[in-house]
Amino acid sequence: MDPGLSLGWDDGPMDGLSCLLRCVESALRAEGLDNREIAQALAVPLDLRGDRRKSSWFRHGRLDWRNAVDGHEHWDEFTALVAAGTPCVLMPDRYYWPGDEFEGVAHFLDHMVLAVAYDGEVLEVLDTDAPPADGYRRRIPVTPDVVRGCCRFATVHFTPPDDAAALRTTLLEPTAVALAEDLPALRAVARRWRRDGLTGPAARALHVVVLGAVQPSLFLTALAVEQAYPALATELLAASRAAQKLGRTLIGAHRWAGAQADDTSVYAPVLAVFEACEAALARLGDELHRQLDLPTPDPDATGDDEGVWRRIVRNQAWCYADRVAPADQHRDEERNR
């Protein structure tokens, strides 16, 4: 994780990319890909509803996740890969993660690091949350709790990125179509928020969706198409900045709310930021349709106003570990999606 090389790195590692994508970016750079190739490899069509793409699949690659209730189950495989020089994305259970704000408090899984070395006693990871002075590296002495907490990890598998012609059909057009379908559901989230407020767990799930998927998709798509479609890249970056502001404001609100706050008033100031992001996405949708000369979407075509909220609820369950499942079950679910 090098501020001078990394995509979009301005003030910090979370500029532009999520912790997951920053990990994958590092793995791909180690394989020799340049920044445009990395952006094109990681860019996926925007999907606010989050159910159009198989989890962990990209247009030209995938992450192969191993998921266990207890990290001991796959510790040997994990450490053998890392020790042999295969970097692995690791999603630790923060309850067991040393020094984490959730250590010994709650089973919360929303952060990912890249495991890059293991010597039998110490696990070395690249971590967007690690001190910059340490090069965003942590050296973690392995204890039974650390092993227990290594319950989700993934290997990275990508083929070379696509050509410019494919960007329209595999990236921009699907984004335009999905955005037109999802904007009513995004507005429904705003109505629900105005009516019921937003609790801490839901707000955390929302920030994971925004910073983990929506904003990176916009940002990476902008970089991927900036030569072929410069005007659209500008619109994509504007929407990306609006999404980034929403995510950062939500994270700020968490600092006033506490880990499991049910005080919905804390998140009320963030609603206006959400609505500004919604407006930026609506502008992007209009521009995509205009510049790509796509048919004007029917605003009532989908009839699904709950799609985005369902994603937030799903994410809340996933991040709070309600759905930690044995690896076989997880893979069955993935195959069935």
Partner 1 sequence: MTDADSTLGQLVALLLRRQGNPVDSIGPDDRLLDLAVDSIDMAYLMSHFERQHDADFADEDFELSRYVTVGDLAKAIDARING
- Cβ at position 98, least distance to partner 1 in Å: 18
Binding residues vs partner 1 (CB under 8 A): 11, 245, 248-249, 251-253, 255-256, 258, 268-273
CA angle 107, 109, 114 (to 5 degrees): 135
The whole-angstrom separation of Cα 300 and Cα 320 is 34
The whole-angstrom separation of Cα 172 and Cα 166 is 9
- Cβ at position 249, least distance to partner 1 in Å: 4
- Cβ at position 222, least distance to partner 1 in Å: 18
Q: Which of 16, 91, 49, 5 lies closest to 248, judged by CA?
A: 16
Q: Which is nearer to partner 1, 178 or 273 (CB)?
A: 273
- Cβ at position 264, least distance to partner 1 in Å: 13
Q: Which is nearer to partner 1, 179 or 203 (CB)?
A: 203
Q: Which is nearer to partner 1, 253 or 288 (CB)?
A: 253
- Which tokens belong to 18? 């999520």
- Which tokens belong to 253? 């609100």
- Cβ at position 319, least distance to partner 1 in Å: 19
Q: In 3-state terms, what secondary structure has residue 225?
A: helix
Q: Which is nearer to partner 1, 13 or 45 (CB)?
A: 13
Q: What is the per-residue DSSP string for 239-298?
A: HHHHHHHHHHHHHHHHHHH-TT---GGGGGGGHHHHHHHHHHHHHHHHHHHHHTTPPPPP
Q: Which is nearer to partner 1, 166 or 272 (CB)?
A: 272
